[in-house]
Amino acid sequence: MTASFAERVAEVTAIRGPLCIGIDPHASLLAAWGLPDDAAGLRELGLRVVEAAASRVGVVKPQIAFFERHGSAGYSALEEVIAAARAAGLLVIADVKRGDVGSTVDAYGEAWLTPGSPLEADAMTAVAYQGFGSLDGVLARAAAHGKGVFVLAATSNPESAEVQTLRVEGGATIAQRMVEHAAGTAGTAGVVVGATVDLDAAEIDRDVLARVPVLAPGFGAQGATLADAPARFGTALGRVLPNVARSVLGAGPEGIADAISAAAQEVASWPR
């Protein structure tokens, strides 16, 4: 029987901890690393991050947009980075934020979650603006292969509250309803909840949140600190994958390994 994605996450984090390293090759970051802003630079940065992360954490999250801006050459570099990460035993979350309906959204799932696909990852991020049910085909594919889908619930950008705190039938906020839907997928879906989000203002029930994997970007450059997480997530803390990117990538090629180790040690000190 195929293990669920939630079970796979639990297994990896029990051994390597929950810290997730973002692979975000901004043009300015490439320059700081002394790398060109082209496919070769993307490949070099990505592979160096994978090498530094492999013995220190269990999860990486390439931000696809920074590869996609270089077209087919960028995607070729991305394929190499993903393959290297998975070969090193890292769980790879493809941060693609795809969403649509029918055969279109199913094709996104096919691209990112099918074993043997050139872009095969262990999970992808998705948007359910068309309704959580629009992801049924993607979730079915994910479940069949032990993959995961992180659905956006409450994001860190301030303007998100205009939509994500609207109420649906029954009185729950949209953010809370996304969490509820994810909790009903038997370990296939998780949610994205920004590390700067006020969960009380978004009316997200931490006990329900504790039933799903939680990808939490926003630590570091966006303002949240790893020390904030225990108070912010409460009973859901044990399911949180805190994502750090610029705050460790900014240490450069010589310092990134130590920066990852320091962040991982801080997360290891969280109460469990």
Q: What pLDDT score was predicted for residue 221?
A: 73
Q: pLDDT value at position 177?
A: 98
Q: How many CB atoms lie within 10 A of CB 1?
A: 4
- DSSP per-residue letters across 204-251: --HHHHTTS-EEE--BSTTSB-GGGHHHHHGGGGGGEEEEE-HHHHTT
Catalytic site includes residue 97: yes
pTM: 0.97
Q: Which of 48, 97, 181, 211 is catalytic?
A: 97
Q: Token match 């450069």: residue?
A: 252
Average pLDDT over residues 241-264: 97
Percentage of residues of the chain with pLDDT beyond 90: 97
Strand extents, DSSP E, 79-156: 91-98, 123-126, 148-154
CATH architecture of 5-268: Alpha-Beta Barrel (3.20)
Query: What are the pLDDT digits (tens) for 80-134?
Result: 999 999 999 999 999 999 999 999 999 999 999 999 999 999 999 999 999 999 9
Q: Where are the domains of the chain?
A: 5-268
Q: Is the pLDDT of residue 1 over 80?
A: no
In the numeric block, which tokens belong to residue 150?
């992180």
pLDDT mean over 228-245: 97
222 pLDDT higher than 90? no
